[in-house]
Amino acid sequence: MTGRVLLGLLPKSAKVFGQVMFGGRNLLDLTETQFNEIRGREIAMIFQDPMTALNPVLTIGMQITEVLVRKLGMSGAAAENEAVRLLDQVRIPSSRARLRSFPHELSGGMRQRVVIAAGIATRPKLLIADEPTTALDVSVQAEILQLLTSLRKELGIAIILISHDFGVISRISDEVAVMYSGRIVERGPVRDIYHRPRHPYTQGLLRAIPRIDFTDEWMPTIEGVVPSAIELIRGCAFAPRCPRRRDECEATLPPLTLTDGRRLNACFNPVPLQ
């Protein structure tokens, strides 16, 4: 949902508050025509399932060249050559021949590479990657993460990676924002958050990661369930599940405040620093 806000893709009935600052401009102030200039060109998105993100009845070549023709005004021949270069860049072998392939003729990892190629076609400043490795097995996941890391360096783009997988996040990110029930509850450098979580939800998430040296019969979990998105919550949304809750937690929304230098935390009773 947050990624869709950044791309201006929410339905007209949606109410968006606050600011989305990008290149010195608040994106929420833009008209639809102005947003169209930015969407897909300066900000692009990789959706989580490459099989549904790609059109099954169009070839890979048609789907990549469409971006180049529509967004960069390239001619057909130039767009085809550029599509070949992009497929090379995302390490797809026999790239020119692959342009004639349909999505179902490629493996899951290859399809995700195609989606990434279409995403970087316009050399965006920001790439939003929504669970880009969820549908892939572990070894292909590692290859895609490696690809995103090297593209980030080669092209100088910023990546917002949306993921439930802390392992993936810790491999690729500099900074992490942990969200619960639609709000950021903790934010800071990924190493700090990973090794010294301050928010009880972040701590619970990290404890629930399976460890190779784990010997107990039961894996740690966070008790309870996530509140419904339509439930109106006055205080901290995590309170019913929080082992550190206090009386004020259920009555007042904890503000996101700066703690420990570069870190932000929204909690009245954070985990003490060790």
Q: What is the 3-state secondary structure (H, E, C) of 126-185?
A: EEEEECCCCCCCHHHHHHHHHHHHHHHHHHCCEEEEECCCHHHHHHHCCEEEEEECCEEE
Does residue number 119 form part of the binding site for ligand SF4 (CB under 6 A)? no
- Least separation in angstroms between residue 160's CB and ligand SF4 is 24
- Least separation in angstroms between residue 202's CB and ligand SF4 is 9
Strand partners, 43: 39, 126
* Chosen residue from 45, 249, 263, 264 binding ligand SF4 by CB under 6 A: 249
Q: Which is nearer to ligand SF4, 146 or 252 (CB)?
A: 252
Amino acid letter, 66:
E
Q: Report the number of secondary-structure helices (H) and strands (E) in the chain.
A: 12, 9
Q: How far apart are CA 149 and CA 137, in angstroms?
A: 18
Q: Which of residues 44-73 bind ligand SF4 (CB under 6 A)?
A: none
Q: Which two tokens stand for residue 118?
A: 């279409």
- Least separation in angstroms between residue 263's CB and ligand SF4 is 15
Q: Which stretch binds ligand SF4 (CB under 6 A): 52-60, 99-107, 128-136, 263-271?
A: 263-271
Q: How far apart are CA 86 and CA 15, in angstroms?
A: 37
Does residue number 178 form part of the binding site for ligand SF4 (CB under 6 A)? no
Q: How far apart are CA 215 and CA 31, in angstroms?
A: 57
Q: Which of residues 188-207 bind ligand SF4 (CB under 6 A)?
A: 200
Q: Which of residues 145-164 bind ligand SF4 (CB under 6 A)?
A: none
Does residue number 254 form part of the binding site for ligand SF4 (CB under 6 A)? yes
Q: Which is nearer to ligand SF4, 157 or 177 (CB)?
A: 177
- Least separation in angstroms between residue 40's CB and ligand SF4 is 38
**Residue corresponding to tokens 């950044």:** 6
The site string for ligand SF4 over 206-245 (x = CB under 6 A, - otherwise) reads ------------------------------x-xx--x-xx
Q: Which two tokens stand for residue 90?
A: 């995302």
User: Torsion angle, CA of 66/72/78/84, rounded to 10 degrees?
Assistant: -60
Closest by Cα among 108, 112, 107, 82 to 95:
82
Q: How far apart are CA 202 and CA 169, in angstroms?
A: 13
- Least separation in angstroms between residue 234's CB and ligand SF4 is 12
Q: Which is nearer to ligand SF4, 89 or 203 (CB)?
A: 203
Does residue number 267 form part of the binding site for ligand SF4 (CB under 6 A)? yes
Q: Which is nearer to ligand SF4, 217 or 223 (CB)?
A: 223
- Least separation in angstroms between residue 201's CB and ligand SF4 is 6
Binding site for ligand SF4 (CB under 6 A): 200, 236, 238-239, 242, 244-246, 249, 254, 267-269
